[in-house]
Structure 1
Amino acid sequence: MADVGSTTWVDTVFAHNFISYTSDHNQTAFHRVQATSGRKNDKLSSFADVQFSNLCGTVYTGGNLLFTPDGNSVLSPVGNRVSVFDLVNNKSYTMPFDMSKNIVCMALSPQATLLITIDQDGRALLVNFPRQVVLHHFNFKEKVKAIQFSPDGKHFAVTHGKNVQIWKTPGFTLEFAPFVLHRTYTGHYDDIVNINWSPDSKYFMTSSEDLSIRIFTVDPLPDFVPPVLSGHRDTVMGAWFSADRQNIYSVSKDGALFHWKYGTYTGLRDLNPEDMDVDEGNEWVDKVRWRIMKKHYFMQTPAKVKSCEFFAPSNLMVVGFSNGIFGLYEVPSFNTIHTLSISQKNIDTVTINRTGEWLAFGSARLGQLLVWEWQSETYVLKQQGHFYDMNSLSYSADGQTLATGGDDGKVKVWNTTSGFCYVTFSEHKSGVSAVEFAKQGKVLFSASLDGTVRAFDLVRYRNFRTFTSPNPVQFSSLAVDPSGDIVCAGTMDTFEIYVWSVQTGKLLDILAGHDGPVSSLAFSPTDMLLASSSWDHTARTWDVFGRNKVIELLPHQTEVLAVTFRPDGKQLATSTLDGQICFWDVEESKLLTTIEGRKDISGGRKLNDRTTAENAASGKAFNSLCYTADGSSIIGGGSSKYICIYDIETNVLIKKFQISENLALDGTQEKLNSKNMTEFGSLEEMEADEASDLEDRLDNTLPGTQSGDLSVRRTRPEAKSKAVRFSPTGRAWAAATTDGLLIYSLDDSIMFDPFDLEIDITPESVMEALEEKEYLKALCMAFRLNEKTVLHDVFEGIPPDSVDLVARGMPQKYLQKLLQFVGVHMETSPHIEFHLIWVTSIMTAHGRYLKEHRGEFQAVFRALHKGVNRVRDDIANLCDSNTYTLKYLLSQQGVTSRAEAMAE
């Protein structure tokens, strides 16, 4: 095991750049950060590297959805990654592994131990799901359309073109060949699209594009002939056994639902004429077979069935159509329970959780993921990313919230901890080019190509101010002053900068001088200076509030793409089209140093590029820049698969991140295979446009367009980042990329802790530490051991007088475990005051840390609040009961006294 306490020079420098600073970006805060950087550097140097943390902004891109066996989480394919949405705790996370291309199907074992993901080319990953570790790589050498584990978990079935392969389920050990083929089944004349198992795992059923259904056995049975169920007139999308295995329900693409029943049928009257295969002399023969009992039709013409799922315990059938409508039906009676329109595009996948209460739907064209509870008719989860590319992003002051703007005209606000979008503003009529937070994250500004700048209230979630120009223009950049009272926007067509007052909404000034589109704006954190960059080869600083309107011109050799201020406001950084990053002294307006980043950010070759990646002209400039917290480093991203971080003092490249390795995107490969290049273009791009359905092959693009119809996503996406930003906390940074909103953060799981290095943590050693009155050590060792009985004994064994001392010395790593334990233990233990002392001591000692990371502790706080409220209610009810009892006894005493007086 590597020593977590040792780091390299690069790691130390990079960790030094992630020092947090206060949200108000002023001079005092900057000097305070510099003064404390030495102390924080010792803490941050233990972090070995920045790791991929989460993928927001994209929730579903295609493939099948999966519920975990407990029914509380949904697994969704997001490009070449897998995101897990915890529906109970309202959190999401993205697994750390990725595949070479987009995922098309997945399967999870019944015990939720193994996950198999398969991409477009048939390459598979075997993953240990609880630990999120890749165990094995495998290639099925054929495009796979369906994969499913058997209910007993011993086998899994996978489609292989016209055939079906049954494989034995691998173990958890790293073997040379964990995939062992059990048997290959043939018989279909076209590709198989779906596989389903019988409840006893002895049979499985396949449905195919050849309009038939076949039933096979896992192990050979004597005198068993695989039956063929035919009668559908279009592709059979799915077929399922009932719970008693006496019925089969199948759904075809044309909207037909067939009910098949297994039994013995005798005589000519019981046989369909088209199914008769006996001679006239042998009509009266007993025949055991599957027979169509009933045919039902969904009546959704001209819509086609795109997805379907059956829940055997409740006999529920869910069907999704190409017009965005889904239907919930009860079979065999075919009663319609619900018919609801939830989308405007295809419902590509649907699945049901273990209890049959929640339905999960996915629409790839809209990037939409829905979880619906059909009994209460409410949404458990409703998430949708940007329909087109993200153009901009901005962090709130506390680093808990991210705002993004996209080409679809929407502004979305994301919670960085949960990964969910909790509000969407759709007031813009065109693409959003820039977003900025102000007023400590309570106000959000956005600039759009529709000619408006809008201000959104994040308390009441409304658009409370709209800023417009006298003449119609397109706004391409945005900046808000530190006080949040002035907002500026640059234009693409008139080359001017408009200045408005947020309080009154009036236009204050129009700054003219640029001869090209204004690409970027930035306000100084300390002075009232506005910096602007333009395609006219200049960057300018404007004294917005000064009477003299001083303008300083900063000339460049080529177009200036981005501009940003250092946190102390004394330095300005600009990026140009030739890949350079220039640093300017703001006071003297002179060039300090230059970083040549052209070779660092360049990389990746498109499929139709005739030149190599080194000679390609595109993608060799930084479109977005952002300083780190202490201003010693800078991060930049552009139309490339790389994002670079530089140390400004030494002009050294500290780290280069590759945002995607997905070969389904353009620009991720350094070299192309020459055999795929033809005079008409790349064969890979031609094959990617193939679709099996006629409606999917129709091209509605206008003649002469190069980009294609974006609504059907026929264009091959290009790996690039539109914007990069550091979190104000200094512990994370985010990038708006083609795949979505990528968040990278310091790896908190690797922390130096002496108890992690102990090998003799046993119940006896824990109790021995408790007897020696080493309460803090005993409690931490109990958390490491993670045995409820030992933890309970240690917790109850700590004297109330020592609680405050133990709480102050508790490492931050164990705070969440301790608060969770107190919240759960409070509901069953009679020691009310003891638990309240613990809660008070923890909040007093670690209140600042808990406030900074309140997003991570929200679920714990809710549990504690629930426990405290329950204790309060119990005590209140007990007091009320005692009060009523005392009043009753006193009243009875008075009655007895009066009765005795009357008797005398």
Structure 2
Amino acid sequence: MKSDFRFSNLLGTVYRQGNLLFSEDGTKLLSPVGNRVSCFDLINNRSFTFEYEHRKNIVRIALNKQQTLLLSVDEDGRAILVNFISKTVLHHFNFKGSVEDLQFSPDGHYFAIGTTKFIQVWKTPDVTEDRQFSPFIRHRIYSGHYNDILSINWSNDSRFFITTSKDMTSKIYSLHSDEKSVAMTLAGHRDYVIKAFFNETQEIIYTISKDGALFKWEYTERPTDESEDEEEEDDEDEDDNDEKIEKPMSWRITAKNFFHSDSKVKCATFHPKTNLLVVGFTNGEFRLYDLPDFNMIQQLSMGQNAIDTCEVNKTGEWLAFGSSKVGQLLVYEWASETYILKQQGHFDSVNSLTYSPDGSRIVTASDDGKIKIWDVNSGFCLYTFSEHNSSITDIKFSKKGNVLFSCSLDGTIRAWDLIRFRNFKTYTATDRIQFNCIAVDPSGEIIVGGSQDSFEIFVWSVQTGQLLDSLNGHEGPISCLSFGNENSVLVSSSWDKTIRVWNIFGRNLSVEPIELKSDALSLTVRPDCKEVAVSTLDGYITVFDIETGNQIHLIDSKRDILSGRHLEDRFTSKNSARSKYFTTINYSYDGLTLIGAGNNNSICMYDISNEVLLKRFIVSQNLQLNGTQEFLNSNRMIDGAGPLDLIDEAGEASDVEDRLDSTIPGSKRGDPSLRNTRPEVRVTSIQFSPTSSAFAAGSTEGLLIYSVDNFTLFDPFDLDLDITPEAIVEALTEKEYLMALVMAFRLNETHLIHQVYESISLKDIKLVASDLPVIYVTKILDFISDLLILEDNPHFEYNLLWIKNILEFHGQYINLNKFEFQSSLKKIQRFLNKVGKDVVLLNKRNNYLLEYLTVARDLKEDDEEEAVIEDVEMEVDEEDDEDEEEEDEELNGDEEELGGWFGKEVKSSNGIVFSVSDEEQDDNEDDNEDEDDDEEEEDSDD
């Protein structure tokens, strides 16, 4: 199994603190999540987290207009410059002070930061600069405020910027030294000035204060005294040339408006092109105003907690809001009044997590009593269950993946339908006890639960919900329960230092109790149900044979764990004995690797057969968490007082809401930003993905995803000098498909494999698949599965033909080595399930269209039959008309022959004029009347 796992994404946390940021095109949203930065793609419905970490939580992020440079600053003023496109770190820098605001100029050449009372303007790093030895070059330092700066805003032409401060003033500065006269102070507010904005023409400035006042400033003539006006009039009269004297100009308040809200203004943003003003308040309310008329467009609320930041995209259509109290992120389209994105992480720490059987979803449970379902590909929360009344301690999937089971400290075990998203069963014991672990039988018929209150294992029927039995034998609290994937063998561990293996349907023990040297904390069963691994309090991982109960392997993990030191510790992490054990362990799906984590800062991956450490992952580098520091810092120590960071400085805060503290002293869970305690870095649950290409860890920072799929490595397989890209292309042109495919796999270049794969014709797939060496079967299945999942290849039938022929000719080999093909087959199965669901959904959506088309076809057939009948009748009528015309023509011909012998002219009904005698005329009229009567009788008969 591969061990080159790397951090790929962070779920479970969408916003912590700081400012939100839209990309220039408005399709991506950047959000600080602790000491990392997450990016949400609002168009493609995906998210990712940058791999780099800060030493402390991020307070400000900024992106230049070209979308190439991302600058993020933490609470200590340490900045990291990142290439936004390649996601690589370019430079580290220290501004040596807390940064209140950070803004790039619209042209991207400069950026300004506000540190305490000063503004620093720096040049943006540029590769075109010659002889530039430092990435950051400071342009100038501006001063003038008497208190901390709150915001900075640039003008559209990048010549000026306006700042706001706690000294209740705003100041205008010029970037260039030849425009010093532009500098001016705007005073008049009675509280902190939160924001100040230029309009699009830069002729109007809007300033917003914390008490809800909005001032409009315009550049007009400065007023003068009456005496000065009289002197100027006399001078104008005396002037012979009648030249006008220019009056001095200045920024003046031309309008005052007030929000009239019961709460304070927390944040604001302005869109100059549409004159849209967005204001967020401390009670969770936000309003939209149209300036300069100050007309309120909308008034909504996103909760009861304060809105810490708001942002608008370039087009002015989407608004982003963030609330750090509950970790909520919201993207709102105000024109249609719809939510583009609405995400919220867990309020408390994650207690348990589990992968769905197809590996496409992760379910997390937390102390806040909520269960959240996360999509692995998009990184978004799909649904939240909140029926539990207390902390949720464990969650498990059924084998098919359509039912989820959870247990809680409220004394219930609940079953959730993941198709209809509802709770359809609730299981309880005879007494009200708090459950801390559950396990589900592979057949899906039995569910078992254990507790720390009782030493029994309770057994329920999934279908009926009845309590079937209770398994007695343990003499201490139950710590963990687990079923294997192949049979119904139940393994339980307890604090009584024993492991017991139960035959759940026989209601007896399969082997004698397995004795341990210490309390059992966690256990995991190998997928083939032949081995069980258990982590104990003494720091060992012991592997036993389930059938015989004999010990097979023993791993000493104490020397591999990095526990870290807490803030109040007077020793280094090397001398710390705290948390030198694993509280959660899990087998990989091939059964060869085991991963473990606990209340420490390390995740360890072991090779079981050799009992060696393969790789160690660091959970977090955030120094604001206990357990991340390694050495003592004498600079932060005070004689007789201990660490400087333990001194409470909240009483000196300038804002009243920062000085107030309504939290419970000594609380170790809940909001990590509480000043009463420092959260401790720990991993509460860890599990491998069913595809074996990733694993997830529920930690203090959130849900960490480590994967091997997102990185391209040059890893040639059985490479020779004769195998070159030119040789592969040559073999392909000569239609030697098998040789070209094998050479491409040996070179292991993805684009060459793709080219050869899609160049093979349909009729040759069967031949190539049958002659393919078995050593390349795993590689081609991995390639096809990645092609289906990642690249969204349109050749659906072509890929299915490949899969069908590979399974047909190499099915026996795959069955004998199923652990090697577990990952690729899971991906293929997930893709087929997804396509099947899409087809079913499409069929449901098209039901009405199919009914309409069916009815339209029937109506069309009826119309065609009626048209045929009408055509037949018309043909019959036309034949009758033709016969009448022929008879008329014959009659007319006879009459024309007689026309020359008689003198009187008579005009017939068909317009022919002829002459007959009076007697013959009477006879002809009688004959015509008889013929008309005969024709009427024939028509009636017809």
1:704-783 to 2 correspondences below 5 Å: 705=666, 707=668, 710=671, 713-714=674-675, 715-752=677-714
Instruction: Indicate how the Cα distance of structure 1 residues 162 and 670 shifts in structure 2: closer, same or farther if over 3 A, else same.
Output: same
The 1-side partners of 2:206 and 2:403 are apart by: 54
**What percentage of aligned pairs have identical amino acids?**
47
Which of 371, 375, 384 is the aligned partner of 2:344?
A: 384
Q: How many residues align?
A: 817
860-869 or 609-618, larger mean C-alpha shift:
860-869
Does the Cα contact within 8 Å between 2:28 and 2:39 map onto a contact in 1?
yes
The 1-side partners of 2:699 and 2:181 are apart by: 55
Which residue number corresponds to residue 564 of structure 1? 524
Which residue number corresponds to residue 73 of structure 1? 28
Does the Cα contact within 8 Å between 2:348 and 2:670 map onto a contact in 1?
no
Tell me whether 1:291 sits opposite 2:291 in the alignment. Answer: no
Which residue number corresponds to residue 196 of structure 2? 239
The 1-side partners of 2:546 and 2:428 are apart by: 31
Which of 139, 153, 165 is the aligned partner of 1:182?
A: 139
Which of 461, 468, 472 is the aligned partner of 1:508?
A: 468
Q: Deviations over 1:426-446 (max 9, x none)?
A: 011111110101132111111
Tell me whether 1:100 sits opposite 2:75 in the alignment. Answer: no
Name the SS of the counterpart of 1:525 in structure 2: coil
1:725-874 to 2 correspondences below 5 Å: 725-752=687-714, 838-845=795-802, 852=827
Instruction: Indicate how the Cα distance of structure 1 residues 560 and 251 shifts in structure 2: closer, same or farther if over 3 A, else same.
Output: same
641-650 or 690-699, larger mean C-alpha shift:
690-699
The 1-side partners of 2:497 and 2:838 are apart by: 57
Does the Cα contact within 8 Å between 1:146 and 1:158 map onto a contact in 2?
yes
The letter for the 1-side match of 2:454 is T
Name the SS of the counterpart of 1:313 in structure 2: coil
Does the Cα contact within 8 Å between 2:31 and 2:37 map onto a contact in 1?
yes
Which residue number corresponds to residue 665 of structure 1? 625
The structure that has the greater radius of gyration is 2
Does the Cα contact within 8 Å between 2:627 and 2:680 map onto a contact in 1?
yes
Displacement of 1:497: 2.1
Which residue number corresponds to residue 156 of structure 1? 111
Tell me whether 1:677 sits opposite 2:677 in the alignment. Answer: no
Instruction: Indicate how the Cα distance of structure 1 residues 457 and 857 shifts in structure 2: closer, same or farther if over 3 A, else same.
Output: closer
Does the Cα contact within 8 Å between 2:789 and 2:831 map onto a contact in 1?
no
The 2-side partners of 1:572 and 1:818 are apart by: 35
Displacement of 1:539: 2.7
Q: Deviations over 1:110-154 (max 9, x none)?
A: 121111111111111111101111111111111111111111111
The 2-side partners of 1:256 and 1:118 are apart by: 30
The 2-side partners of 1:454 and 1:353 are apart by: 43
Name the SS of the counterpart of 1:552 in structure 2: coil
Displacement of 1:841: 2.0
Which of 140, 148, 153 is the aligned partner of 1:191?
A: 148
Name the SS of the counterpart of 2:583 in structure 1: strand
1:507-546 to 2 correspondences below 5 Å: 507-546=467-506
Name the SS of the counterpart of 1:339 in structure 2: strand
The 1-side partners of 2:79 and 2:834 are apart by: 35
Name the SS of the counterpart of 1:469 in structure 2: coil
Q: Deviations over 1:343-379 (max 9, x none)?
A: 2212111111111111111111211111111111111
Tell me whether 1:314 sits opposite 2:267 in the alignment. Answer: no
Structure 2 gaps of 5+ residues are 234-244, 720-725, 773-779, 808-823, 886-942
Instruction: Indicate how the Cα distance of structure 1 residues 548 and 900 shifts in structure 2: closer, same or farther if over 3 A, else same.
Output: closer
Does the Cα contact within 8 Å between 1:700 and 1:709 map onto a contact in 2?
no
Tell me whether 1:62 sits opposite 2:22 in the alignment. Answer: no
Which of 579, 582, 596 is the aligned partner of 1:622?
A: 582
The 2-side partners of 1:785 and 1:589 are apart by: 46
Q: CA RMSD in A?
A: 4.3
Displacement of 1:237: 1.1
Displacement of 1:478: 1.3
Which of 305, 318, 329 is the aligned partner of 1:369?
A: 329
Instruction: Indicate how the Cα distance of structure 1 residues 648 and 765 shifts in structure 2: closer, same or farther if over 3 A, else same.
Output: closer
Does the Cα contact within 8 Å between 2:191 and 2:209 map onto a contact in 1?
yes
The letter for the 2-side match of 1:86 is D
Does the Cα contact within 8 Å between 2:668 and 2:679 map onto a contact in 1?
no
Displacement of 1:680: 3.8
Name the SS of the counterpart of 1:583 in structure 2: strand
Does the Cα contact within 8 Å between 2:511 and 2:547 map onto a contact in 1?
no
Name the SS of the counterpart of 1:145 in structure 2: strand
The 2-side partners of 1:639 and 1:176 are apart by: 44
The 2-side partners of 1:226 and 1:770 are apart by: 71
Tell me whether 1:610 sits opposite 2:585 in the alignment. Answer: no
Instruction: Indicate how the Cα distance of structure 1 residues 672 and 896 shifts in structure 2: closer, same or farther if over 3 A, else same.
Output: farther
The 2-side partners of 1:595 and 1:188 are apart by: 62
1:268-347 to 2 correspondences below 5 Å: 286-301=247-262, 303-347=263-307
The letter for the 1-side match of 2:49 is T
Does the Cα contact within 8 Å between 1:350 and 1:362 map onto a contact in 2?
yes
Name the SS of the counterpart of 1:314 in structure 2: coil
Does the Cα contact within 8 Å between 1:699 and 1:709 map onto a contact in 2?
no
Which of 195, 204, 207 is the aligned partner of 2:161?
A: 204
Displacement of 1:332: 1.5
The 2-side partners of 1:132 and 1:798 are apart by: 37
The 2-side partners of 1:112 and 1:898 are apart by: 79
Instruction: Indicate how the Cα distance of structure 1 residues 161 and 57 shifts in structure 2: closer, same or farther if over 3 A, else same.
Output: same
Displacement of 1:802: 8.9
The letter for the 1-side match of 2:71 is I
The 2-side partners of 1:844 and 1:409 are apart by: 47
Name the SS of the counterpart of 2:37 in structure 1: strand
The letter for the 2-side match of 1:207 is T
The 2-side partners of 1:120 and 1:278 are apart by: 53
Does the Cα contact within 8 Å between 1:640 and 1:719 map onto a contact in 2?
yes
Does the Cα contact within 8 Å between 2:544 and 2:553 map onto a contact in 1?
yes
The 2-side partners of 1:206 and 1:895 are apart by: 90
Name the SS of the counterpart of 1:841 in structure 2: helix
The 2-side partners of 1:738 and 1:159 are apart by: 31
The letter for the 1-side match of 2:443 is S
Does the Cα contact within 8 Å between 2:672 and 2:679 map onto a contact in 1?
no
1:401-480 to 2 correspondences below 5 Å: 401-480=361-440
The letter for the 2-side match of 1:742 is L
Instruction: Indicate how the Cα distance of structure 1 residues 120 and 865 shifts in structure 2: closer, same or farther if over 3 A, else same.
Output: farther
The 1-side partners of 2:769 and 2:20 are apart by: 43
Structure 1 gaps of 5+ residues are 1-13, 16-47, 270-276, 758-763, 824-834
Instruction: Indicate how the Cα distance of structure 1 residues 220 and 860 shifts in structure 2: closer, same or farther if over 3 A, else same.
Output: farther
Does the Cα contact within 8 Å between 2:492 and 2:499 map onto a contact in 1?
yes
The 1-side partners of 2:769 and 2:611 are apart by: 45
Which residue number corresponds to residue 890 of structure 2? none
Which of 660, 663, 681 is the aligned partner of 1:701?
A: 663
Highest RCO, 1 vs 2 (Cα 8 Å, sep ≥ 6): 1
Does the Cα contact within 8 Å between 2:349 and 2:669 map onto a contact in 1?
no
The 1-side partners of 2:329 and 2:32 are apart by: 11
The 2-side partners of 1:800 and 1:627 are apart by: 40
Name the SS of the counterpart of 1:375 in structure 2: coil
Name the SS of the counterpart of 1:684 in structure 2: helix
Name the SS of the counterpart of 1:614 in structure 2: helix
Name the SS of the counterpart of 2:99 in structure 1: coil
Instruction: Indicate how the Cα distance of structure 1 residues 311 and 453 shifts in structure 2: closer, same or farther if over 3 A, else same.
Output: same
Does the Cα contact within 8 Å between 1:819 and 1:860 map onto a contact in 2?
no
Does the Cα contact within 8 Å between 1:248 and 1:259 map onto a contact in 2?
yes
The 2-side partners of 1:69 and 1:375 are apart by: 20
Tell me whether 1:221 sits opposite 2:160 in the alignment. Answer: no
TM-score normalised over the length of structure 1: 0.81
741-750 or 727-736, larger mean C-alpha shift:
741-750
Name the SS of the counterpart of 1:293 in structure 2: strand
Which of 29, 35, 38 is the aligned partner of 1:83?
A: 38
Displacement of 1:218: 1.1
